[in-house]
Structure 1
Amino acid sequence: MISTTDTAIIGAGPYGLSISAHLSDAGVPHQVLGEPMLAWRNFMPPGMLMRSEAFASDLYAPHAGYRLEDYCRLMHLPYAPIGMRLPLERFVEYGLWFQSQLVGHVRPVDVTELRRQDDGFLLSLSDGSALAARRVVVALGLKGFEQTPTVLQGLPRPHVLHSGEIGNLAWARGKRIVIVGGGQSALGLAALFNELGAHVRVLVRGGIISWNEDPEVGRSLLSRMLRPEGGLAQGWYPYVLSEFPYLFRGVGQRTRKRIAEASFGPSGAWWLRDRVAGKIELRMNTTVRHVAIRNDEVVLEVSGENGPATITGDHVVAATGFKVDLARHAFLSPEIVSALSLVDGWSDVSRNFESAMPGLYITGPASALSFGPVLRFVYGAKYAAPRIARHISRCHAAEGGSRAFDAPAVPQPLAESRTGVLSHPPAAAFQEAKSPAE
């Protein structure tokens, strides 16, 4: 039996839930596929703090009353738009509350295959059912796009892990942990591991750690004019990227790609400096040359400022970021991947987030090539959710409004399902760790 809907949203994180809230308000039938906030709950460590300011950590509804500030007021919790140390657990609770209030039609399933079907799409789901939809929104984060240095690839878990798959840290108590990386994920994990009682070393390729400035609370009008507060950071450049992502599309593709990949690169949050500096061994200008597993420990041959050295540990964590490549989503059929005309893994989408395949929308970090680095973070949903919903609503109305989408009476046989997809945002917020992606 194949159920039908107008629009299927793949992903139940901040982007998927925000888009759903707007589609519901517009009266567009749709389904959200995925467990709400799952990746934020399962792939990020307890005790983590969100790097984004609280005002930039909202999910977005079409009407007032559903921002993080509203949730905190309702629950009698402290809130400050800037300078607040926002725990991961509170952000997750807020996201689940948002879902419970505005998004009731969530199916906790993964998508195992998405393919074109007549004038719509056919989705195979992990519970064995199928869903026919006229339109599909891929609202995933960075999960599945983990980037691991070649020297660490192919080594067995749990000896070698990526920072995007850490989750609970209880296993690390008393262990020797080597972290490769010098950005927020590396430094944030180092602090948490250290405070848990692990012995931590951080291997940094560069020569310095870039620390973010302490937030300025209660700034003067002149200060706010000279350096306005955007969702990404203070200053006119991040403000424009944060608040006017549509302007980004007017820049040449090569420049857009460079900005999307390199802007707001590795750095440590202001609240991490005192938990890391002077408390954890940081090896600067260090390159990992070879890694092997010997006698149940990880042996790393490295080169650095003092020449070659050997470092051993129980576990190595690659806190080395993510690289968007939609072809790595195993649920996308070869036909769809080919039609997307990917640019080094990115999909260049329209001003309404519609891909080169009509009816298929892509948002979140995978759309940063078109709308800039703000789409790597939760704050990007502020622009994406209403934009996508308006376009889908117009299309839905032009096709007959409430008229149901008719699935094929005799569907083609489903291709064998492929596994390995999580229809949820990644641990991007931890890696970036602005309150990403999903």
Structure 2
Amino acid sequence: MMTRNSSALDVAIVGAGPYGLSLAAHLREQGVEFRIFGEPMGLWKDNMPKNMLLKSCPQFSNIADPEDEFTIKSYCAEQSVPYHNELIPLPLERFVQYGDAFHVRYVPMLERKRLVSVELATTRWRAHFDDGETVEARRLVLAIGLRPFRHLPEQALHLSAEVASHSSDYGPLASLDGKEVVIVGSGASATDLAALIHERGARVTLVMRQNEIRFAGRPRQRSLLERMLTPRAGIGSGWTIAACSAFPELIHALPAAQRLRLANTPALGPAGGAFMHDRVLGKVPVVFGRSLERAEERNGKVELYLNGPSGRQVVAADHVIFATGYKTDIARFDVLPASLVGRMATVECAPQLSSHYETSLPGLHVIGPAAANSFGPVCRFVYGTRYPARHLARYLPRILARRSVIAPKLQPLSETVLQQ
């Protein structure tokens, strides 16, 4: 393949999910020179099952634009489809259509190409793409989402793709028709898949460590006292969650140990969506209070050896789906060479970011879920798109005007601090 070199530009954005699209819309509004690369809403289109419902309320699922005018509510009004801030769940297909409409309206210059490698050349970043083009940029923003960071239990890493998968592998569910399926997990991915597979007529069982399934509460009118005691915010309910929703820059200013506790707060732990309760309970068998001890593949089936307070149990199935979430580890983003990853300051394997979402490698910024250990849990939600987009739309024009790259002052965190 012939390599094509482009002249240096100010900003390159890699990733065209909600975070990348929102940032591009804001930079375009500010007149910043940029290019954006990726498949629009790719993870949402390719790695989530059809007929899924978003767990977040529609009013908190907007991709931020510069004027806050193109909301899901306004999109639904344009399309003449039903909408309610809370009482009508948002189907995945509608959210993807909204994201595509956002792309067409605000980011028509999006280039559908895949990043294959990155290098730092003195004061510029070189991004190499699958069509042979090399793009140089003074600032490189990675809005890479969750796709590189799916987490599988160590006990399952040896299983073949014929008998084991991660919840992010779906997509279409037809390959599971007629099979006996076990899903390991207790969050929204687990409960959504369990309901959808059951409704297709397959036999499915949930296995979880917890002793009960948690579901988000169904939306309802709340009293003034309830609203005062547990305010509803962009990513959940309660005063702590409200602070995390509204003030990620303040979360960034906290000591590292406190930031990490908030990034992984139990208040936002595994839970099914409110509207999945009746589609799972009483319909899908659940094995409670069991952890995975080991897994074995035998005669085209998989056997899970489970352990719990009442002893051991073996569960056999044709296929097991691990709905075990994601764990950010920048070393797993394989377009970054090990030489660069080794120089990057990290917080529990996630990049340690300055207040400008900049890594310790000058000119490299990270936004989206991979920023959660620095800015808190709002980074894991579409609601969080407004913060990096607006901050970087103010910051980047100032720093680019200097025509130099200045490394942020970051101090590596000691093991003592992380263990506090």
TM-score (normalised: structure 2) = 0.91
The answer to whether the 8 Å contact 2:117/2:337 transfers is: yes
Give the counterpart letter for 1:39 in structure 2.
L
Aligned twin of 1:55: 59
Find 2:131's aligned residue among 117, 127, 132: 127
The alpha-carbon deviation at position 64 of structure 1 amounts to: 4.0
State the 1:222 CA deviation: 5.0
SS at the partner of 1:106? coil
* Structure possessing the higher relative contact order (Cα contacts under 8 Å, 6 or more residues apart): 1
1:315-334 correspondence runs (5 A): 315-334=319-338
* Contact map agreement 2:248 2:378 (CA 8 A) in 1: yes
Contact 1:115 1:335 in 2 (8 A): no
Q: Tell me, which stretches of 5 or more residues in structure 1 are unaligned?
A: 406-438
**Counterpart residue number, 1:232:** 235
Q: After alignment, is 372-381 or 389-398 more displaced? A: 389-398
Distance 2:371 2:313 in 1: 41
**Match of residue 3, structure 1, among 6, 24, 44:** 6
Per-residue CA deviation, residues 284-303 of structure 1 (Å, 9 max, x unaligned), is 11122222222211122223
Equivalent position of 1:376 in the other structure? 380
Q: Distance in 2 between matches of 1:111 and 1:307?
A: 48
* 1:38 to 2:42 alignment: yes
Corresponding position of 1:292: 296
Distance 1:72 1:378 in 2: 17
Instruction: Decide whether the 8 Å contact of 1:28 with 1:396 is kept in 2.
Output: no
Matched residue, 2:208: 204
Amino acid at match of 2:76: C
Matches within 5 A, 1:116-265: 116-217=120-221, 219=222, 221=224, 223-263=226-266, 264-265=268-269
| Aligned equivalents of 2:220, 2:388: Cα separation in 1 | 28
Contact 1:302 1:309 in 2 (8 A): yes
Structure 1 residues 311 and 249: alpha-carbon distance in aligned structure 2, compared to 1, 3 A threshold? same
What code does the residue aligned with 2:51 have?
G
Deviations 1:37-92 (A, max 9, x none): 11110010000000001011111111243111111111111111122210000000
**SS of the counterpart of 2:20?**
helix
SS of aligned partner of 1:272? helix
* 1:211 shift after superposition: 2.0
2:321 counterpart of 1:309: no
Deviations 1:243-281 (A, max 9, x none): 111111222102211221344111122111111111111
Closer/same/farther in 2, CA of residues 116 and 212 from structure 1, 3 Å limit:
same
Tell me: CA distance 1:349–1:145, structure 2 relative to 1, closer, same or farther (3 Å). Answer: same
Instruction: For residue 399 of structure 1, report the CA deviation from its aligned partner.
Output: 3.4
- Asked if structure 1 preserves the Cα contact closer than 8 Å seen for 2:54 and 2:273, the reply is no
2:240 maps to a residue whose letter is Y
User: Helix, strand or coil: the match of 2:320?
Assistant: strand
Count residues with an aligned counterpart. 400
1:121 positional shift:
0.4
Q: Which AA in structure 1 matches 2:185?
A: G
Question: Is contact 2:302–2:318 with CA below 8 Å preserved after alignment?
Answer: yes
**Equivalent residue of 1:339, what SS?**
coil
Residue type at the aligned position of 2:21: L
Contact 1:347 1:355 in 2 (8 A): yes
1:98 matches 2:102: yes
What's 2:282 paired with? 278
Partner of 1:394: 398
Letter in 2 for 1:247: L
* Residues 345, 359 of structure 2: 8 Å contact kept: no
Contact kept? 2:352, 2:374, Cα under 8 Å: yes
Structure-2 separation of matches of 1:64 and 1:162: 35
3-state DSSP class of the match of 2:197?
A: helix
Cα deviation digits, residues 109-136 of structure 1 (max 9, x gap): 1111111012110011111211111110
- Give 5+ residue unaligned stretches, structure 2: 406-420
Output one character per residue of 1:186-219: Cα deviation in whole Å (capped at 9) or x when no partner.
11111111111110111111212222211124x4
Question: Which of the residues 10, 25, 32 maps onto 1:28?
Answer: 32
Amino acid in structure 2 at the alignment position of 1:30: F
How has the CA–CA distance of structure 1 residues 305 and 220 changed in structure 2, closer, same or farther, with 3 Å as cutoff? Answer: closer
2:253 and 2:150 map into 1 onto residues whose CA distance is: 29
SS in structure 1 at match of 2:392 = helix
SS at structure 2 position matched to 1:242:
helix
Report the 3-state secondary structure (helix = DSSP H, G, I; strand = E; otherwise coil) of the residue aligned with 1:147: coil
Q: Is the 8 A contact 1:54 1:68 kept in 2?
A: yes
In the alignment, which residue of structure 1 is the partner of 2:82? 78
Question: C-alpha separation between the residues in 1 aligned to 2:174 and 2:348?
Answer: 38
Q: What is the rounded CA distance, in whole Å, between the counterparts of 2:377 and 2:38 in structure 1?
A: 25
- Answer whether contact 2:263 2:377 (CA < 8 A) is retained: yes
Q: Report the TM-score when normalising by structure 1.
A: 0.88
Separation (CA, whole Å) in 2 of partners of 1:101 and 1:189 = 32
- 8 Å CA contact 2:25–2:65 kept in 1: the answer is yes
Residue 335 (structure 1) aligns with? 339
Q: Quote the Cα distance in structure 1 between the aligned partners of 2:199 and 2:235.
A: 28
Aligned residue identity for 1:155: L
1:10-50 CA distances to partner (integer Å, 9 max, x unpaired)? 10000000000000011111111101011110010000000
Identity among equivalent positions (%) equals 38
Distance across 1 between alignment mates of 2:142 and 2:300:
41
Partner Cα separation in structure 2 for residue 50 and residue 380 of structure 1:
15
